[in-house]
């Protein structure tokens, strides 16, 4: 199963469409808030299944939950936007890591393998206490860095997580990669 995860698109659907068009067949588009209508629109237009959670800047349209636990091919994912935490990309690194440890503990308590979140506009891909923590970054047109997203490929016992960022030439560069074995 191939999943594209986006967050914080804030109206920028062109880069989502570009990513989907360049990375081939996808089974699911996940949007982690602040542009949830963008994600739904692109998924429907592309014929891709859609799952998402509400962000603090989502207004109108069909309400979605602030948090969801979903099962995909035997893998459990915790989805949230992240605004309910005090996580802020401007926090010093030790504070940031404390929040990530707390998020991993929360995901572990819920029996999930991975915690997907947005809000911080900062790509994150790391493993903490056996939990994959993934923030795909953002697609906000005002960002100083290029738009980014996560591509997740699931197999029975392994999951491959990659984050790509669009460069100035319009190509998608691999930013981070992590393989996770189901325990």
Q: Which tens digits make up the pLDDT trace of 34-47?
A: 888 999 999 999 99
**Cα 43 to Cα 16, 20, 130, distances in angstroms:** 9, 9, 30
The contacts of residue 104 (CB under 8 Å, 6+ apart) are: 115, 128, 129, 130, 131, 133
Q: Which tens digits make up the pLDDT trace of 45-79?
A: 999 999 999 888 887 766 788 899 999 999 999 99
Q: Are 1 and 131 in contact (CB under 8 A)?
A: no
Q: Are 165 and 145 in contact (CB under 8 A)?
A: yes
CATH number, domain at 72? 3.60.21.10
Q: Check pLDDT > 80 for residue 15.
A: yes
CA distance 26 to 14: 17
Q: How many domains does the chain have?
A: 1
Q: Assign 99 to helix, strand or coil.
A: helix
Which range of residues forms the domain containing residue 101? 2-181
Structure confidence at residue 116 (pLDDT): 97
CA distance 33 to 54: 5
CA distance 134 to 152: 10
Residue that the structure tokens 């989805």 belong to? 79
Q: Assign 5 to helix, strand or coil.
A: strand
Q: How confident is the model at residue 87 (pLDDT cuts 50, 70, 90)?
A: confident
Q: Which DSSP symbol is given to 146?
A: P
Q: Which DSSP symbol is given to 59?
A: -
Residue that the structure tokens 């572990």 belong to? 108
Structure confidence at residue 141 (pLDDT): 76
Please provide the size of the chain in residues: 183
């Amino acid at each position: 199963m191939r999943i594209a995860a986006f967050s914080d698109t804030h109206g920028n659907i062109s880069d989502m469409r570009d990513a989907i068009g360049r990375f081939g067949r996808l089974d699911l588009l996940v949007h982690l808030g602040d542009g949830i209508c963008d994600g739904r629109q692109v998924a429907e237009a592309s014929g891709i299944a859609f799952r998402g959670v509400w962000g603090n800047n989502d207004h109108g349209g069909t309400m979605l939950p602030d948090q969801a636990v979903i099962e995909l091919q035997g893998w459990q994912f915790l989805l949230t936007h992240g605004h309910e935490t005090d996580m802020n990309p401007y926090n010093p690194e030790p504070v940031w890591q404390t929040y990530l440890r707390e998020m991993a503990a929360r995901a572990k308590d819920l029996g999930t393998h991975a915690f997907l979140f947005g809000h911080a506009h900062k790509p994150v891909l790391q493993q903490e206490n056996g939990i994959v923590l993934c923030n795909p970054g953002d697609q906000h047109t005002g960002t100083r860095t290029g738009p980014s997203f996560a591509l997740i490929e699931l197999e029975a016992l392994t999951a491959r997580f990659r984050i790509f960022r669009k460069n100035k030439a319009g190509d998608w560069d691999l930013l981070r990669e992590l393989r996770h074995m189901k325990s």
